[in-house]
Amino acid sequence: MKLLAICVLLIFTSVSWARTTKSSHTTEQSSIHTTSIQVTTLSPEEECRTNNASCDACVGVAKAQCVYCQSSKKCILKKSIIPTDECSLSDAKWGVCWVNYQALIIAVSVISGVIILGIAICCCCCCCGKGKEKLKKFEAKWEKDRTERKARNDERRAERQQKTDEIRRKYGLVKDDVPYAKFK
């Protein structure tokens, strides 16, 4: 898992490094005899079409989001997140030429899934830790109520027994402590 995370990190680092180096090496056309600078602005789609020479030239276009299709050797503009209409995912190269788009999507989705799972586990651990304290308070309160109920019940039982004994004494039905006595 750590190896996968390192690979994705290297991919994104190399993509950003490649884009910054390409953008720093752009040159402007200027004439020695005139003071005006001629700059031609191309649409992103035209920029991608002009860089069909190789995968590195296509992927390195700084302003446009170009995808290089390995099977047709064409540089196309990435119009959606998953460009499957013009090139299959296993043939599409975006960002760097040594990783296809399908592997990049799988790696990013796995890493984001692991991150979401980690956040969910952390949230559950935090909530359960606080829940145990609440549970302990509830159990203590419940135990206190239980002992109070038991004490009241014992008190009522003693009162009933006392009344029963008084009634038995009144009518001469007192139980002897020893039911069987030796005859002399």
**Is residue 129 very low, low, confident or very high in pLDDT (cuts 50, 70, 90)?**
low
The answer to whether 139 and 131 are in contact (CB under 8 A) is no
Q: Which of 13-17, 117-121, 122-126, 154-158 has the lowest mean pLDDT?
A: 13-17
pTM above 0.85, yes or no: no
For residues 93, 97, 99, 102, the Cα torsion angle rounded to the nearest 10 degrees is: 0
- How many whole angstroms separate alpha carbon 131 and alpha carbon 35? 74
Burial of 97 (0-12, 13-18, 19+ CB in 10 A): middle
